[in-house]
Structure 1
Amino acid sequence: MFHTETYGGTREEQYTLVIAQLKALIEGEPSRIANLANASALLGQFLRDINWVGFYLLEGEQLVLGPFQGLPACVRIPLGRGVCGTAAQKRETLVVEDVERFPGHIACDSASRSEIVVPLVKDGELLGVLDIDSPNLARFDETDRVMLERFVTELAARL
């Protein structure tokens, strides 16, 4: 059974606890969809000042909406388009301080002002991306990037 934790300590320590919770939640569960759903719910309860968190999964040459927390979202994103499609195509994490300044940004939720997208890669194969939006400008920083990359690495290893 899952218990909500009070996240004390440094942000790195808080993220470390969340990663431990992720491992416990998905240990032994073979369903990719169930694991992604629990991962998005876990991040949704942990992260503050966000309005959307979830996954887009690679199907052919586009990303297709997967498990998420937040308002209804764009269903399909071509590789190379918007923040998600660009991060997927480049296979690198993108931290965008102001989405309105990102060329080709796809506005699924008009309240979103900043975004982080982390590619989900297993054994060199792109599976999709983790996408997190915030209504605050410059919400995400280097700590978020490093720790969310660790989170996604742990998740991908079990998918």
Structure 2
Amino acid sequence: MDYELLLKSYKGLVEKENNFTATLANTSAFIFNTIKGLNWAGFYLSDGEELVLGPFQGKPACTRIKYGSGVCGTAVSKAVTMVVDNVHDFEGHIACDGASNSEIVVPVYKNGVIIGVLDVDSPEFSRFGNAEKEFFEKIVKVIEEKIQ
């Protein structure tokens, strides 16, 4: 997959939109509809105490995740991108969709503070490698630059 071309397309999609919710909604739809092998793509946003479901594409999801819980909450508490090849082996995994087998979560920052995460799930094991990690981190960087 040509992630650089996809990144250019994504930037064109969101460059003129200044509304945060609209940007996240289109980002979720863009990822879900352009990357093969996914069953969920979206955002969880911090309310200061936990993560709350934001714009997404896929089946209905868990609405609240405590910091330090599941892959999303762990990504926040560790302040790192989490790539999990087999979510069933991840201690404390929260199974919102039993069909998910791998997951990547990228923290989103504003002024040095994590304000949410991009969460992408796949029914395939080991779906997310270094190319996907770099691509999703670049997507998040575009979002961060828009909100700083």
Q: TM-score, normalised by structure 2?
A: 0.95
Question: Are 1:55 and 2:43 matched, yes or no?
Answer: yes
- Cα separation, 1, equivalents of 2:144 and 2:34: 19
1:111 match: secondary structure: coil
Deviations 1:58-117 (A, max 9, x none): 111200000000000000001110000000111100100110100100000000001000
- Cα separation, 1, equivalents of 2:5 and 2:25: 18
Equivalent position amino acid for 1:53 in 2: A
Q: Any unmatched runs of 5+ in structure 2?
A: none
State the match for 1:77 in structure 2: 65
State the match for 2:122 in structure 1: 134
RMSD: 1.0
- Cα separation, 2, equivalents of 1:65 and 1:26: 21
1:158 match: secondary structure: helix
State the match for 1:28 in structure 2: 16
Deviations 1:30-55 (A, max 9, x none): 21100000001110111111100000
- Cα separation, 1, equivalents of 2:139 and 2:4: 9
State the match for 1:112 in structure 2: 100
Equivalent position amino acid for 2:102 in 1: S
Deviates more, 1:100-109 or 1:120-129: 120-129
Greater Cα radius of gyration, structure 1 or 2: 1
Question: Is the 8 Å Cα contact of residues 91 and 119 (structure 1) preserved in structure 2?
Answer: yes
Question: Are 1:95 and 2:94 matched, yes or no?
Answer: no
Q: TM-score, normalised by structure 1?
A: 0.89
Identity within the alignment, %: 50
Q: Any unmatched runs of 5+ in structure 1?
A: 1-10
Aligned residues: 147
Q: Offset at 1:122?
A: 2.6
